[in-house]
Amino acid sequence: MIWVITYIGVVLFLVLMYKYLTRNYNHWNIRKIPTARGAVLGFGHMLDVMMLKKNLSTLLQETYNAYPDVSMVGLFDFDQPALLIKDPELVKTVIQIEFASFSDHMTLNIFADPLLTMDPAFVNGEKWKHIRGMFSKAFSVKNLKFISLVAKYECDKLVEFIDKKFDKESVVDVNAKHLFSNFTAQVVAHMIFGVDGEAFDDFHLPESFRTMMDAMFEANVITGIRQNIFFSLPLVGKLLNVGFVPSWVNVTFTRVVNEIRELRKSLNLKKYDILQQIIDYEADNKYGDVVACYAFLFFIEGYETSSLTLSSTAYLLSKYPKFQTKARKEVDRVMDKYKSICYDAINEMTYLDQIIQEAIRLFSPVASMQKICTKSITLQGVDGLACALDPGDVVFISSVGIHRDEKYWQNPNDFNPDRFAKGSEGYRKHMYLGFGEGPRKCPGKRMAIVQVKAAMAIILKNYIIEASSRTVEPVKIEPKYFLTTAQGGFWIELRRLTCSYLSQKLSQFSMSNEGSSQSSNQSEKRPLSDYEDELPQAKRK
């Protein structure tokens, strides 16, 4: 008798569980919205994401492509309905026109991720507006000139780092992401703290900035599981106290920031860097002591997506030498004019800007967006489909789906920087979402463009970029990572420019007077502290 009762209890439990897990499965049918095939009980459409077979952006792109003739598609994020919008006009509505109805982003567990409490991606309301003010101040023209100066200094060190490898090899075969992560780690360490990030050292110390960033962003199973828990299973994350940032990184980074602050306080020193501006901006402690949070935010804004963009840009230039040659000619012309990589020189490299925008179109580091409805609204597609959304409903946008849609781009899978030429009909707003759009667009865009263009310019000036057989073709997106990078990495081969080419450039430089040439050569090797005559002076109270 006991086994019969047990059997009935188990069956009843399974039936109730099934009913609970499928309670929303008619959600899209009732609203007459096409529903993506392949939902799995309990997981919805997210099983492959949770099993680390696909990242979310790949899943959304595949869903986007599977329904070419509709403006929206219904999905299930586990058991919760989520709407994928495909029509650029709907995208414009969600991220700009009706921003007030989609102003919030996901929140986080502040106990597991204390360093992310000031990240605009995870805060809302007045706090988000306060953070926007900090970014507006930090990325003024004055500060961008400072950032470009830091980038120039680190570009010289990047060349030295690469040239050391030529002592043993005639061709340097390198993982582009690893190479450029060293560069961006150096730039942000100098820009924020005024210190050497030691990323170009042969050995990265356990507590170095580069090591901390790798612990967060290196694509592997552990990182993939942690990021899936953070983005898809927030309740599990709170229960297990698992955050996006490893706990030791939270502790170490905060300690480093506090040590630098205490050192400056003891010396009564104010420096011209981002950290000092954060300290001054948050002097009233409106949200408590959040200096470390801001510093961390600037670090991750400048580190990961910029290195991803540099790696995909270098890879694409290795595959399309004619565009590489054209970009090199522009770099040489501009650098002949300014004699170095400076803010004005970077702004004048318009073709290089087109190349970077096109690389982002094809391999957007952030290839999808998630918006949360905050006010009831009905979205109307150009095909007549309409969907009523309530507060709390989730909307997905596949940036890469739109970027590679032949309805909006001619030969969308081809690399063609001329799409972004001034006056070109190949580019239309809201069909290019490389940095997002609307009030929530990427706050670090201008900083990213400065350091990406600086690094790519110095590479083109000194090396020929060639394709490497170590890149897995066709390129597949790494599934154990929430951003966009190639599975196995983007590999490139670097060769020094030929002697005849260098001789030609040297002869051009020899036309300038000897005195100015000597001055220019000396300036290239100065330590960063020697550049203070070109910046607002460091101050002592």
How does 11-22 read in b/e, with b if 16+ C-beta sit within 10 Å? eeeeeeeeeeee
Instruction: Tabulate helix, strand, coil % of the chain (nearest 5).
Output: 55, 10, 35
> Is 342 flagged in the annotation as binding?
no
CA proximity to 460, closest of 155, 50, 240: 155
Token reading at 364: 């957007």
For residue 247, give both structure tokens.
Answer: 């706990």
Sequence-distant (≥ 6) Cβ neighbours of residue 60 within 8 angstroms: 84, 368, 396, 398, 400, 401
- Of 514, 483, 425, 95, the closest CA to residue 308 belongs to 483
What are the beta bridge partners of residue 371? 395
The answer to whether residues 59 and 49 touch, using CB atoms and an 8 Å cutoff, is yes
* CB neighbour burial string for 352-371, b if at least 16 within 10 angstroms, e if fewer: bbbbbbbbbbbbbbbbbbbb
Residue among 116, 123, 340 at smallest CA distance from 243: 116
d(CA 450, CA 145): 9
* Nearest-angstrom CA–CA distance, 315 and 253: 32
Which value, to the nearest 10 degrees, does the dihedral of the CA atoms of residues 134, 139, 140, 142 take? 120
Which tokens hold the place of 526? Answer: 């100065």
Task: Pick out the residues of the known binding site.
Answer: 442
Q: Which residue ranges make up the annotated binding site for heme?
A: 442
